[in-house]
Structure 1
Amino acid sequence: MNSMEQCNERGELLLKIARQAIQQALHVPADPLALDNEQIWLQQPGATFVTLTQHGELRGCIGSLQACDPLLDDVRSNAISAALCDSRFTPLSADELDSVQIEVSLLSGVEAIKFTSEADALTKLRPNVDGVIFEYGAYRSTFLPQVWEKLPTPILFLANLKSKAGLAEDFWDDDIRLSRYTVSKWRETERARKVVYG
């Protein structure tokens, strides 16, 4: 098996784990998953985001920025939280489950971005590559790399990051910290629940 096939196989399993976790949380019958002791990678620390979409619109998104828990536990916890605990949405109901598509993003390590000004910071952001963490005192937010699809320029991306954190879009201070990460992501297709890697 080549590395791409292995990556797709792992992604498909993560999607199944996420869906099963949500099914169990909603008391919906779920097919048992065949997990074995040879899948050591699931027991290693991992950081994931689980994103739910419904009819093309966001329905929930919760994740981890630091790889603290075993990957298996992290994706299960974030799947349930995305379905039931995202404060922007009402909790997902069992009746909605068939109309929801799941995407799992596996995060790389986090790297600090060095910059001297807001203009300099904007030149350091890599559209369609970077997930970005914004931090200023108690204010914090992040966008996955997928968000570049809706906010395609660094100016828009950073302005909306500040807004998400609860600050004005034109806010700037020298104590702002930015970090970046990349993701491997897999999503179910709308009809077949088939894995798509991208």
Structure 2
Amino acid sequence: MISEGLVTIQELNLEIGRTLIQIARRSIYEKFSLDKLKLDDYNNPILDKKGLAFVTLEEIYDNRTELRGCIGYVEAVAPLKEIVALAAKAAAFSDPRFKPLSKNELDKIIIEVTVLTKPEEIIVNDRWLLPKEITVGKDGLIVEKGILHSGLLLPQVAKEYCWDSETFLAETCIKASLEPDCWLDKSVRIKKFNGIIFREASPNSDNILVINPQNVECKIKSYLLD
């Protein structure tokens, strides 16, 4: 049963995050008949609220990780637990950038679930002022033009790549298959949202990290300092 209202970030905690990670992994394992996911077993009223979420998969190579899939939903069409289950399976097997996950990769995959707030359009009279309305590390972005062009980048992405807000806008335009300066076009809609991250410390781990996107390390800066 779907509870009324949209789940808020403030309602989430470590235990709910651990449950979301478990749902995501069991949804993926189900594809290989290694587990059976029964969403009715998860009857927390928070999980039954409608929610927006992305599931990101990263594969471990030596001492580093590489993106292996990332799919999510920004429309509140189902309970949070169902959204995470669907997103996990899609990230593993339907992300067009990658081949479907294989069974022998399961123990190399770190699962990350980002729960989002409802995207809100940024309205400004002067498009040049858009970067000032975006807080790097807090806001994620969606760029939309018509029905053919849409791109989304999660809040943590700008922090990982050390982008300022203008670069973040440009990169989201590129994600939408538009020109980098598309955000200056008044026919392009720019939306922002917030998020909270739950991430496995290692594959299949019960140690779940709760991460504020503002605390994500800048990979480029770290690389330059090494």
Same fold (TM over 0.5): yes
Q: Which of these residues, 85, 99, 103, is aligned with residue 108 of structure 2?
A: 99
Structure 1 CA distance for aligned equivalents of residues 196 and 174 of structure 2: 26
Tell which deviates more after alignment, 7-16 or 54-63: 54-63
1:85-124 equivalent positions in 2, closer than 5 A? 85-124=94-133
Tell which deviates more after alignment, 114-123 or 70-79: 114-123
Counterpart residue type for residue 11 of structure 1: G
Q: Deviations over 1:112-158 (max 9, x none)?
A: 21123332111111100001111112311111101112152112111
The number of residue pairs the alignment matches comes to 195
Q: Which of these residues, 84, 91, 94, is aligned with residue 82 of structure 1?
A: 91
Q: Which of these residues, 167, 170, 185, is aligned with residue 178 of structure 2?
A: 167
Residue 200 of structure 2 corresponds to residue 182 of structure 1: no
Tell which deviates more after alignment, 171-180 or 181-190: 171-180
Structure 1 CA distance for aligned equivalents of residues 86 and 12 of structure 2: 24
Structure 1 CA distance for aligned equivalents of residues 107 and 21 of structure 2: 14
Given that 2:39 and 2:82 are in contact with CA atoms closer than 8 Å, whether structure 1 keeps it comes out as no
Structure 2 CA distance for aligned equivalents of residues 9 and 135 of structure 1: 35
Counterpart residue type for residue 196 of structure 1: L
Identical amino acids, percent of aligned pairs: 34
Partner residue of 1:196?
209
| TM-score, reference length from structure 2 | 0.79
Partner residue of 1:41?
46
1:41 alignment partner, SS class: coil
Structure 1 residue ranges, 4+ long, deviating more than 6 angstroms after superposition: 3-6, 30-34
Structure 2 CA distance for aligned equivalents of residues 122 and 25 of structure 1: 42
Q: Which of these residues, 4, 9, 31, is aligned with residue 15 of structure 2?
A: 9
Partner residue of 2:142?
133
Counterpart residue type for residue 174 of structure 1: K
Residue 29 (structure 1) shift: 4.2
Structure 2 CA distance for aligned equivalents of residues 46 and 6 of structure 1: 11
Inter-CA distance 146–140: structure 2 relative to 1 (3 Å threshold): same
Inter-CA distance 28–154: structure 2 relative to 1 (3 Å threshold): same
Residue 9 (structure 1) shift: 0.4
Partner residue of 2:214?
none
- What 5-or-longer segments of structure 2 have no aligned partner? 1-8, 212-226
Partner residue of 1:18?
24
Given that 1:141 and 1:161 are in contact with CA atoms closer than 8 Å, whether structure 2 keeps it comes out as yes
Counterpart residue type for residue 181 of structure 1: F
Given that 1:136 and 1:176 are in contact with CA atoms closer than 8 Å, whether structure 2 keeps it comes out as yes
